[in-house]
Amino acid sequence: NAGVTQTPKFQVLKTGQSMTLQCAQDMNHNSMYWYRQDPGMGLRLIYYSASEGTTDKGEVPNGYNVSRLNKREFSLRLESAAPSQTSVYFCASSEWRDSENTQYFGPGTRLTVL
Amino acid sequence: AQTVTQSQPEMSVQEAETVTLSCTYDTSESDYYLFWYKQPPSRQMILVIRQEAYKQQNATENRFSVNFQKAAKSFSLKISDSQLGDAAMYFCAYRSAFANNNDMRFGAGTRLTVKP
């Protein structure tokens, strides 16, 4: 099993450009998450999807949209990138049958917005 | 809202020695879960250990153990017999036990250096 995979690993954008970060998991988990990680700060939740067909805002949703394409895939879209969105983005998944709802993370995408 | 504080931005330990990383949290909830994640230079977040708040016994995973003090809202990580491969960023995290709450809160992290 690959676990949680993310593409791309690195991306450089100009201000105003758009892009979609892709995430897929092969653990048959119901819940998926998008986080951003900034220097000197812990991970902050952008959006999550508790189950296929549902999405909800997290702590820092402004400037982002998400799509839960199917049970395996959860994408994050930046419609008009801004320098403040320069960050490392992590996707994660979890399963409610695991009572602790432990989250399993992908390797991250480093995004730079010029 | 719940907050997680890691007061040590950086820690250093000699190989084979023991080190303790601190974490405190603020919550009004009585039931929740606590986690320690390791992030090596590869950036992958790796689960180290987890603790259920309603369990009094401290969790242990091989060389990793926690000291969970619920009244003090403290959740420290002890690494015994430190190895070079333990060098990484360590993040403490909190999650409510309520079924509808998917929000995991992370501390700012502690960078651990292991000296040979």
Contact A53, A66 (CB under 8 A): no
User: Dihedral of the CA atoms B86, B77, B18, B59 (nearest 10)?
Assistant: -100
- Residue B44 or residue A114, greater confidence: A114
Cβ separation B45–A40 shorter than 8 A: no
pLDDT band at B43 (very low <50, low <70, confident <90, very high): confident
Q: What pLDDT is attached to residue A97?
A: 61
Q: What pLDDT is attached to residue B59?
A: 92
Summary mean pLDDT of chain B: 92
pLDDT band at A98 (very low <50, low <70, confident <90, very high): low
pLDDT band at B42 (very low <50, low <70, confident <90, very high): confident
Task: Report the C-alpha gap between B91 and B103 in whole angstroms.
Answer: 15
Per-position DSSP letters for A18-41, written without gaps between them: -EEEEEEESS--SEEEEEEE-TTS
CB-based contact (8 Å) between B105 and chain A?
yes
Average pLDDT over residues A65-92: 96
Cα–Cα distances (Å) from B70 to B32, B67, B82, in that order, read 11, 10, 26
Task: With a cut of 90, say whether residue A41 has pLDDT above it.
Answer: no
How many CA atoms lie within 13 Å of B113's alpha carbon, on the beta-carbon side?
A: 7
Which residue among B33, B42, B106 sits closest to A43, beta carbon to beta carbon? B106
Task: With a cut of 90, say whether residue A2 has pLDDT above it.
Answer: no
Cβ separation B105–A42 shorter than 8 A: yes
